[in-house]
Structure formats: C-alpha cells, structure tokens
Chains A and B, each alone.
Chain A
Amino acid sequence: MIWDNNFAVSVIPLLLEGLWVTVRITLLGTLLAAVLGIFFAILRRLAIPVLSPAVSFFVVFIRGTPLLVQAYCAFFVLPAYGISFDAFTTGVVVIGVNYSAYMAEVYRSGIQGVPKGQWEAATALSLPGARTWSRIILPQAIRTVVPMLGNYLIQMFKDSAVLSAITVVELMATAQAIGSSSFRYLEPLTLAALLFLAISYPASRLVNRLERRYAPQH
C-alpha cells in the first residue's frame, strides 16, 4: 500500500500547527507590506531629490531578485552586522518588505487613478499636504486597490513556503521534517499541498467577488 491512511491522520495535528504559523506569517507580512507599500508609493510620488529615486531603485531591485536569496541575505548577512532576530521575525520582515515593493506599484496606479480635479480641489480649499493625502487621495486610491491587495495576500500565503529554507517552522518545513524523520514523504507533502489548496482556492474566489464589488464606479 503506497498511501498509509493511519500515518496520514496521525500527522494532521502537526501540519495544522504548521499551517497556523503560515497563516500568521501571511497576515503579519501583508500588514507590513501594505503599510510600507503606502510609504514607498508616497515617497516616490513626492519627488524628493535623492530619496525618491533611491526608493524607486529599491523597489525595482527587490522586484528583480528572488525572495529566497533575499531571505538568505537577511538570515546570514545581517547577523554579521549585529542585527539578528529569530527566524519567524526575519521571515515576516523579509516577505513583508518583498511584497511591499509589489504593493507600492499597486498603490501608485491607485494614486494615479485619482482624478486631477481632486488634487486641484484640495489646493483650492488650501488643505495642508498631510490632510490632502490622508483624507482625499488615499481613501480613493485604496478603494480601487483592495482586490489587488487580496491577490497579493493569497500569493504571499503560497510564497511563505520559501521561508522554510531559513528554518521558519511553517507548513512546508513541518511537512519536510515529518518526511525526513519517518522516511515517508508522500503523506505529509500531499496533505500540505491539499491544505494550501483548501485555503487559497476559496480565498481567490472571494477576492474575485470583491474585485467585482470594488470596481471603480466612475
């Protein structure tokens, strides 16, 4: 018998623990990415000499290099300079910063989509810059990017498996550890795949529905 059902059932609790870590990484990472992304998008839009081009380059560079290598950099290089966190925190920061580069682009297109008249009206009312951003521009920009953020959340959920390479004990690492200790890889890896699918498929359906609901109304 290739598939051992008893063994499969016995490893489910461990895998669920791993899944919970994956979910936590995804939620915290998305939060970090969403906040950092706004900052990057605003900094690029403000066109501050030196700073804005530097942010632009950082965003392009992050988007052009593999997540795995970035994770290795954070995990192996930073401790050499006295900056070290545990694997979980490093993982959240790496994946959060990585996705913030993508989200910065999404916000940028959202900000560009805000009609010019809104800016002019804010100027005519002599609203200070901070109020213009926080009350006029961002609420309208974010509305259109909500579904995209959802897509990146799902993408991150799947990508977080990469963090198993820097010893974060999430779903993938758990499945692998069960496999190497019991010499049975089939059950844990198949179950891990099914767990990923069980969450990401309904989630992407949900995002599709959000997409239709939040479609720009002008």
Chain B
Amino acid sequence: MSAVIEYAPLLWQGLLTTILVTVLSGALCLVVAFTAGLARLSSHRIISWPAGVFIEVFRGTSLLVQMFWLFFALPFFGIQLHPLTAAVLALGLNEGAYAAEVVRGAIASRAKGQTEACIALGMEPALRLRRIIIPQSIPAMLPPFGNVMVDLLKNTSLVSLVTVADLTFRAQMIRSSTGQTTAIFITILVMYFVLSYLLTLLTSWLERRYALDRKALAAQRKESQLMKVGAA
C-alpha cells in the first residue's frame, strides 16, 4: 500500500485526466449522436446514406484501431494530432456512432400520432422535431445513453496506449518504478468502479427527473400537498 500513498498525487493527476477525457469525449459523443442519428432518419438519401456509412464503419471496427489510426496513420497525410485530441476524437466518434443508433431508435419508435398532430397543426418539420419529437424521445434515450457513457468512461483507459497520461497510464508508470503491482492495480480498479457507479447514479437521477410518466409524479405531488394541508 505504501506505493499507493507515496504516489497518490500522480494517481490524482491521472484521475483528473481520465475525467477530462470522459467529459470532452462525452460532449463530442452527444453532438455526433444527434447529428448522425437525425441525419440517418432523413428522407433525403444524400444525407442519410453518409450518416449510415459513418455509423456502420465506426461501430464495425474496434475503438483501438480507430484511435491508433488517428494517432499513427493520420500523420502520413500531414496531420499530426496531439495525443489528447486523437484520443478524444476517437472516443467521441466511436461512442457517438453507438449513441446515434440510440437516437435513431428512440425517435423512430415515437408514436405516429404525434407527428400527424404536428402536421395537422401546420408545424414546420424543424419546429416539429425541436419542440415535439426530440423532447418526447429524451426519456427513452436516457437509459441506453447511460450505458454508452459508462462504456465511454471504461474505454478512456485505452487512451493510455496513445500516451495520454490518464489513470491507467500513471498506474503503469508507478508499477514499473515501484514493482508494487497488486496494490496499484487494485486501487485503480476501485477508482474506475466508483467513477462508473457515480455515472450510473447520475443517469438514474436524470431518468427520474425526465420521466414521461408525469401522472405518477403529479399524484405524488398532490399527496405531499395534502399532507402539508393536513399538518397545518
């Protein structure tokens, strides 16, 4: 355990890097998900087809290959990315492709009546999407999005292989300088576990917050109001 305590500042820095990579690529993932997911649903083939190819290519090859490609192969085209940029780009695009399928599925499974009602009210397609369809689809997207984010968090450990100094990278450094393998690796396993548990808690809070089933929530609120009245 002594190595863990002695090198705690290094591990702390690694943890911060891991969180930074998760947040940046998580944001990119959401942008990619909605862009590609909505484009995939477009009725114009010229928009939906490239989105489909993007999704299938990034889902069909492994994340590590994509990350290495951005880091090692892109320089042959004269583009040298910073390791952190390459890592965030690969993670965001890869998980974004998975999340795009979530967006597509959630929107495609909306009740048709909603779209028909919008058309009957003379809503423009863009307005229809922004005010009716997307807000209604968010609750259905949240649980799978939570899974994607936990996956993303776990996959940030791969950025250590393109020399980003995250938690796993620091652990390897400490391991090779102290040789205290067991303590170090158990420590970072627990750290990752706590992080992904926190992410799960966040998702389930969001799920409750944005639940579509407002009837149950309203009933709850009424009940608590009645209680208050009774107490007074």
Judge whether A68 and B157 touch: CB under 8 Å.
yes
A13: Cβ under 8 A from any B Cβ? no
With A65-B193, A66-B168 already in contact, the answer to whether A196 and B65 are too (CB < 8 A) is yes
Across-interface contacts of B160 in A (CB, < 8 A):
68
Question: What is the interface residue range for chain B against chain A?
Answer: 35 or more
B223: Cβ under 8 A from any A Cβ? no
A132: Cβ under 8 A from any B Cβ? no
Query: Shortest distance in angstroms between A174's beta carbon and chain B's nearest beta carbon?
Result: 12
Which of B32-40, B67-75, B107-115, B138-146 is found at the contact surface with chain A?
B67-75
With A64-B197, A186-B73 already in contact, the answer to whether A192 and B185 are too (CB < 8 A) is no
**Beyond A193-B66, A201-B60, 20 extra complex contacts between A and B, CB < 8 Å:** A64-B196, A65-B192, A65-B193, A66-B156, A68-B161, A70-B189, A72-B168, A72-B172, A73-B185, A76-B175, A76-B181, A76-B185, A77-B181, A158-B61, A159-B62, A160-B62, A161-B65, A176-B68, A185-B73, A192-B65
Contact surface of A with B, Cβ cutoff 8 Å: 2, 61, 64-70, 72-73, 76-77, 80, 158-162, 164-165, 172, 175-176, 179, 184-186, 189-190, 192-193, 196-197, 200-201, 204
Across-interface contacts of B185 in A (CB, < 8 A):
69, 72-73, 76-77
Give the residue of B56, B150, B158, B172 whose beta carbon is less than 8 angstroms from that of A162: B158
Judge whether B181 and A80 touch: CB under 8 Å.
yes
Complex CA–CA separation, A185 to B189 (angstroms)? 32
Nearest-CB residue, chain A, relative to B56:
A201
Query: Shortest distance in angstroms between B106's beta carbon and chain A's nearest beta carbon?
Result: 18
Those of B170-227 within 8 Å (CB) of chain A:
171-172, 175, 181-182, 185-186, 188-189, 192-193, 196-197
Q: Encode contact with A along B29-65: 1 for CB under 8 Å, 0 otherwise.
A: 0000000000000000000000000001101111111
Complex CA–CA separation, A65 to B167 (angstroms)? 12
B155: Cβ under 8 A from any A Cβ? yes
Judge whether B65 and A172 touch: CB under 8 Å.
yes
The main secondary structure of chain A at its interface with chain B is helix
7 residue pairs bridging A and B, Cβ less than 8 Å apart: A61-B193, A67-B157, A72-B168, A172-B68, A176-B72, A185-B75, A193-B69
With A66-B168, A196-B60 already in contact, the answer to whether A189 and B157 are too (CB < 8 A) is no
Nearest-CB residue, chain B, relative to A200:
B60
Judge whether A2 and B196 touch: CB under 8 Å.
no
Across-interface contacts of A176 in B (CB, < 8 A):
68, 72
Judge whether A189 and B181 touch: CB under 8 Å.
no
Judge whether A69 and B192 touch: CB under 8 Å.
yes
Complex CA–CA separation, A64 to B158 (angstroms)? 15
Complex CA–CA separation, A160 to B168 (angstroms)? 18
